[in-house]
A and B are shown apart, each in its own frame.
Chain A
Amino acid sequence: MSLIQVTNVHRVYNETDIPVSALKGVNLSIKEGEFTAIVGPSGSGKTTLLNIIGGLDSATDGSLEVAEKNITHLGTNELIDFRLNNIGFVFQAYNLIPVLTAKENVEFIMLLQGWEKNKREQRAMQLLEEVGLKEKVNSKPAQLSGGQQQRVAVARALASHPKFVLADEPTANLDSASTNNLLDIMVELNQREQITFVFSTHDQRVIDRARRVITLEDGQIKSDIHK
């Protein structure tokens, strides 16, 4: 049974003078507990694909099912709710609300979901500990390094027990030590708690640690390797 089922997805950007075909019939199935890297040259369609899987953008054609629910035709407000309850996001940078502390940032998603204060705080503390930021719970994003900020973002992404975590080039702005550290945490979470990660990357060190590598080229899947 697949968690994410992408069937013949096309995405054409019509906003420009010349329409750009960013995805040209992508078929893809991701199971629970996978640790998948989407790779490929710049402009190959990685971000476009992740956006569609995350319900941030819709396919021009084709369909998308998440946990057996077809979300291809959800309206924008339904999609917001869908994202809140099913998907954890880690963006390339500047993920966090600058005025809130690390702990408050992690709590934020649970707040939106209406968790009660005790549970929220407990889980936020636990998650920050898991990503190795026990000491930084009360720091604001500006007081954290890029790598620490990304770790807070991972903690936040996990806060609401999402079905999977999407990360578009989460290590692009990090040095190699921070990259390794973030990857260690992601791998660990994946192995210990069966959390499904789908991320795009350019970085060979990241690719090396993925268990499945999907290569995109010119909007199509060129290879799909399980290690």
Chain B
Amino acid sequence: MIYLRLAWKNIWRNKRRSFITIASILFAVFFAVFMRSMQLGMYAKMINSVVGSYYGYIQIHSKGYWEEQSLDNTFERSINLEKEIKSTKEVVSCVPRLEGFALLSFDEQVRGVSLTGIDPNEENNFSSLKNKIIKGNYLIQEDKGVLIGEGIAEQLKLKCGDSIALISQGYHAVSAGGKYTIKGIVKLNSSRMNNSTIFMTLGSLQEFYGTGNRISALAINLKEGSNAANVMAAINPKLNVQEYEIMDWTEMLPELVQIIKADSSGGEIMVFILYMVISFGIFGTILMMIAERRYEFGILLSIGMSRLRIITVVLLESIMIALLGVGGGILFSRPFLYYFNANPITLTGKAADTLRKFGFEPEMPTLLDFSIPLTHGSAVMMISLCLSLYSVFSILKLKPLEASKR
């Protein structure tokens, strides 16, 4: 107790210096937290818009499908398996999909498209596909119509009610063909998908390809903040490993992981530089403090205060200063994080276009996750504790006789 009180009083001896030190720690923590929350928020948004709104955090396929995405690598749909997966902890939804390619012909124009068979209700729960309709209507169960990506519609001048012909090779190389009416036009985040994807009900597509009740993937979405690896471990025992493969989004989308990693390392370097700068600041404070108080420490040692006790007080001082700075920085950053979470900064221009091409919305809502301030707060605490080892060593070397020299 007395140590705490003494340390607290000592901090305020040189108010201006302590204030400057605390302020520098505060701003460093503030900027580190704010910047990382912004970056990580952007990544979360990226992941969410690519993974959450289409791929799913986890997918289950027939073994070998991801390597060779053909209709021959599909598997028989099992409602039981889907039920079991849905009942797994942290799983929010699990939707069946059949995917393949076809040639679309309309009005003497022909182009390649990718076909996706979905369960309209479940898919809407999964990826809010209904909200992406810009013209026409969403599919109903057993619908015979199709939804086409906005890009295809623009290029081929298609509108709702038009009939298109699709031709492809079906399951086991049977030939597939059919005429479909456009029921709606969807605007998809990813420009690649927007320019190539056609949705129809799972039943229609299975009929088109002649696959029977087969599907190519189960896409699974998780509760926010869940750990995909844990969920995969929970699902794994329910799967026959000879038959199925289970993957998380990082395996399915290594490019996305790469983009994030590359961008993130820039931020990490910034934070590192910031930390270096405040380290020198803190160290300067410690040096000055020790120099100023050598005589006093000498007196304390002379009258019988052990080095350990002196060290305790001095360390407490460092901890208090660091805590004030770190706590202040975290508190100070919160309102900004909340504000920019609710009102995300929207990128414009070239950067925004690039992001859109990849299917990312060019918005950067900050991430409110408390692990970010915790990480940077404890990093700064560690730095100042390490630096205050210098004062520990100087006190260990101190001789009481310094007291008689002034």
Contact = CB atoms under 8 A, between A and B. Distances in A.
Interface of A: 47, 51, 54, 56-57, 77, 80-81, 83-85, 87, 89, 91-95, 97-100, 109, 111-112, 156, 168
B6 A99 contact: yes
Contacts of A56: 302, 400-401, 403-404
Contact of A100 (B6, B302, B404): B6
B134 to A, nearest CB: 70
B401 A80 contact: no
A112 B6 contact: no
A89 B302 contact: yes
Interface in B24-81: none
A51 B304 contact: no
Contacts of A91: 299, 302, 403-404
Given A91-B299, A109-B304, A51 B401 contact: yes
B304 A57 contact: no
Which of A51, A54, A80, A100 is most buried by chain B, counting CB atoms within 10 A of its CB? A80
Nearest to B7: A99
A144 B10 CA distance: 19
Nearest to A84: B304
B275 interface: no
Interface in B1-19: 2, 6, 9-10, 12-13
A112 B312 CA distance: 13
A47 B404 contact: yes
Contacts, number: 62
B171 interface: no
22 contacts: A47-B404, A51-B401, A54-B302, A56-B400, A80-B304, A80-B305, A81-B306, A83-B302, A83-B304, A83-B400, A84-B303, A84-B304, A84-B305, A89-B302, A91-B299, A98-B13, A98-B296, A99-B6, A99-B12, A99-B13, A109-B304, A156-B303
Contact of A97 (B300, B302, B404): B300
B156 to A, nearest CB: 81
Contact of A112 (B9, B304, B307, B400): B304
A51 to B, nearest CB: 6
B348 to A, nearest CB: 55
Interface string B307-322: 1010000000000000
B96 to A, nearest CB: 72
B400 A97 contact: no
Contact of A99 (B9, B302, B304): B9
A51 B400 CA distance: 10
Nearest to B403: A91
A112 B305 contact: yes
Nearest to A85: B304
B200 interface: no
Contacts of B404: 47, 51, 56, 91-92, 168
Given A56-B400, A80-B305, A94-B295, 18 more contacts: A54-B302, A57-B401, A77-B306, A80-B301, A80-B400, A83-B400, A87-B304, A89-B302, A89-B303, A94-B296, A95-B299, A97-B296, A98-B13, A99-B9, A99-B12, A112-B305, A112-B309, A156-B303
Nearest to A83: B304
A119 B150 CA distance: 86
B406 interface: yes
B254 to A, nearest CB: 59
A100 B303 contact: no
Interface string B221-233: 0000000000000
Contacts of B401: 51, 56-57
A50 to B, nearest CB: 9
Contacts of A112: 304-305, 309
Interface in B282-309: 295-296, 299-307, 309
Contacts of A54: 302
Contacts of B10: 99
A95 B403 CA distance: 9
Contact of B303 (A57, A77, A109): A109
Nearest to B3: A111
A94 B406 contact: yes
A54 B400 CA distance: 11
Given A56-B400, A168-B404, A81 B299 contact: no
Given A97-B296, A99-B13, A80 B406 contact: no
Contacts of A97: 6, 296, 300
A99 B329 CA distance: 28
